[in-house]
Amino acid sequence: MSYFLKQSKLNGKTYLQIYESIYDPALKRGKNKCYQKIGYLENLTTEKMPDPISHYKEEVAKLNTKERKEKEEAKIRLIEEDPVKNFGYFLVKVLYNTLELEKEMEPMKYIHKFKFNISNLIEALTYSRIVNPCSKLKTYSEVMPQLYGKYDFSLDQIYDGIEFIGSSYSDFIEILNHCLGEKIKRQTNISYFDCTNYYFEIDFEFEDKKKGPSKENRKSPIIGQALLLDGDSIPLGMKMYPGNESEKPKLRELIQEMKATQNITGRTIQVADKGLNCGDNIYEALKNKDGYIFSQSVAMLDEKEKNWVLLESDYIPVKDKYGEVLYYTKSCTDSFEIKYTDKNGKKKPIQVRQKRIAIYNPSLAEKKKKEIEALAIKAKSLCYSKAKKDEYGESGKYINFINENGTKAATEVNVAKIEEDKRIAGFNMLITSETKESDENIYRVYHNLWKIENTFRILKSQLDARPVYLQTKEKIYGHFLICYYAVTLLRVLEEKVFKRAFSTYELIEMIRKMRVVTDTTKNINITPRTKNITELASMTKLKFSHFYLSDKELKKMFKAFYTGLKK
């Protein structure tokens, strides 16, 4: 059912009525009927109401809003009647208790006088995101009512709260880091950094949703997200930024924020891929007495360095415990020129001492060559069929669209580019300030960069950070703050609580499967008895694997604390 303002012509005058659209089961179709007769427009127009049409359109909008709310409330009542409740999120709730996050968030209520507890809202949204990630409307109407603990927020309170935490998201990250620092030992001597972006299904740019290089190769407006992880792959910081901004300065900004807010004075080795490798980041790291390990594109090297990398001599094999070759490596240490931007915005060259490590991975080389061959075949077939430029996709890098004079050319395959890519396939280079560390140790530390890529994968797949159903900047940032809290708490469970006995993926799977059927006297546990569930029950000494669970036992689980996290 919905309402609309009907404007009719009676005796040459405009007559206003509010109509409602309803479904007629007898006719098996919708029909309209009069809800309220208002009157003639000319009689309604007064000084207090100069525009009756706009006034009554607002009244209709209020009626429709009330109708939608009543439908949602009826839907929630139906869901609340469902006796199946999820209790698996108690694993995260116990960590929230242990970190004393609610106590630390208490002062936030003085910033904005909400009629609800902001910490409890963050809890409810974080648990809901882990249990069943979906839109805020669906979270309110379907997910929260299915949590064993009762979280009683209105939809308006959820939207108001998400907007507030989005406007202050860096403060909430600082609170989380403070609480973590009090309870666990953080490995901040090494930090891993990377960026990603999230697209929006809109045509035009709005606020921070700007058009830029999308990770999914889309042309829609995007928002960027930078993440910094500690040596244990637990997030240290997050920065959101407009999609048209460069990701390179975000590394410096996040490192500075981390050191300032957490009072970190020690040396940090920054690890990032070639997209973050620039003179400004190297200069800033050295100026702050930090270190760095960055990858370097072999294709972008000058001819002298490229020849050194491709020269087979001096490579040393690195083998696994069975004697099988994993990769080959060689290195040199020397002074190299980099250029940084000074205070006046001018590029200045300086000499820095670096170790450069060349790596050749035979299995990676074979894989890359097959990929190049497939792209080359696609490029040739599209070239012969005279396809449009935007049809080539990634294979377009092997097509010459522009001739030597810089003008449009007849498309032809760039055979030289294909052969060059095959020649350097499997080769990589790392550049580092850690000149005294062994090649193997440098490669091992860099190789752990996959953990931050894995974190982005969890955000985008398991926690459904995209698509985003919100529009304003503050609400969008609030959404990502909740996703950040969820992945951080899950990583702490994985690394510090359960000592890697379960991966983050396995923890999410267990949390989602732990359910009870409730009635007035007892709760019947319908959690499947998997190997991981059985092992988790043994490790925690809790009774969640029992068939019958009393309310007392469940409440005891939700009020528990983890111990021994500082070890």
In this predicted model, what pLDDT tens digit does every residue of 448-468 receive, in sequence order?
A: 888 888 898 999 888 888 777
**Contacts (Cβ under 8 Å, ≥6 apart) of 510:** 88, 91, 502, 530, 532, 533, 536
Most distant pair of Cα atoms in the chain: their distance: 99
Q: Give the DSSP per-residue string, 186-242.
A: ---SEEEEEEEEEE-S-SS-BTTBB----TT---S-EEEEEEEEETTS-EEEEEEEE
* Side-chain half-sphere CA neighbours of 293 within 13 A: 25
Question: CA–CA distance from 231 to each of 143, 307, 452 (Å)?
Answer: 34, 34, 10
Alpha-carbon distance of 508 to 452, in angstroms, equals 18
Asked whether the predicted pLDDT for residue 116 surpasses 90, the reply is no
What are 224-250's pLDDT values in tens digits? Answer: 888 889 889 899 989 888 877 777 787
Question: pLDDT value at position 467?
Answer: 72
Tokens of 326: 């994993």
Burial class (CB within 10 angstroms; exposed 0-12, middle 13-18, buried 19+) of 58: exposed
Among 39-48, 151-160, 211-220, 549-558, which is the least confidently predicted range? 211-220
What are 496-525's pLDDT values in tens digits? Answer: 999 999 999 999 999 999 999 987 677 888
Alpha-carbon distance of 188 to 180, in angstroms, equals 13
Question: pLDDT value at position 218?
Answer: 67
Tokens of 204: 């035009």
Give the pLDDT band (50/70/90) at residue 78. Answer: low
Q: Which of 178, 195, 196 lies closest to 258, judged by CA?
A: 178
- Phi–psi pair at 415, nearest 5 degrees: -65, -40
**Contacts (Cβ under 8 Å, ≥6 apart) of 236:** 177, 186, 188, 191, 228, 229, 230, 254, 258, 262
Question: pLDDT value at position 262?
Answer: 66
Among 21-25, 54-58, 180-184, 324-328, which is the least confidently predicted range? 21-25
Mean pLDDT, the chain, rounded, equals 85
The verdict on whether omega for the bond into residue 362 sits within 30 degrees of 0, i.e. cis, is no
Q: Which of 53, 85, 26, 93 lies closest to 542, judged by CA?
A: 93
Among 167-176, 205-214, 323-332, 334-343, which is the least confidently predicted range? 205-214
Among 149-153, 204-208, 395-399, which is the least confidently predicted range? 204-208
Range 41-50 average pLDDT: 84
Question: pLDDT value at position 406?
Answer: 52
Range 473-494 average pLDDT: 94
Asked whether the predicted pLDDT for residue 259 surpasses 60, the reply is yes
Question: pLDDT value at position 302?
Answer: 87
Range 199-217 average pLDDT: 68
Question: pLDDT value at position 79?
Answer: 57
Range 102-115 average pLDDT: 84
- Phi–psi pair at 565, nearest 5 degrees: -75, -20
Give the pLDDT band (50/70/90) at residue 197. Answer: confident
CA dihedral 196, 254, 465, 76 (to 10 degrees): -170
CA 171, 172, 173, 177 torsion-angle sign: positive
DSSP H or E stretch at residue 91: helix 90-99
Residues of the chain by 3-state class (helix, strand, coil), percent to 5: 45, 25, 30
Give the pLDDT band (50/70/90) at residue 410. Answer: low
Question: pLDDT value at position 350?
Answer: 92
More confident position, 218 or 12: 12
**Contacts (Cβ under 8 Å, ≥6 apart) of 447:** none
Among 39-48, 72-81, 239-248, which is the least confidently predicted range? 72-81
- Phi–psi pair at 549, nearest 5 degrees: -130, 120
Give the pLDDT band (50/70/90) at residue 28. Answer: low
Domain ranges across the chain: 2-79, 365-424
Q: How far is CA 218 from the centre of its chain?
A: 17
Asked whether the predicted pLDDT for residue 545 surpasses 60, the reply is yes
Residue 281 · residue 251 · CB < 8 Å:
yes
Task: Outline where 385-492 has alpha helix (H).
Answer: 415-424, 439-447, 450-457, 473-492
What are 128-141's pLDDT values in tens digits? Answer: 999 999 888 889 88
Percent of the chain, pLDDT > 70?
92
Give the pLDDT band (50/70/90) at residue 479. Answer: very high
Asked whether the predicted pLDDT for residue 81 surpasses 80, the reply is no
Among 73-82, 363-372, 478-487, 527-536, which is the least confidently predicted range? 73-82
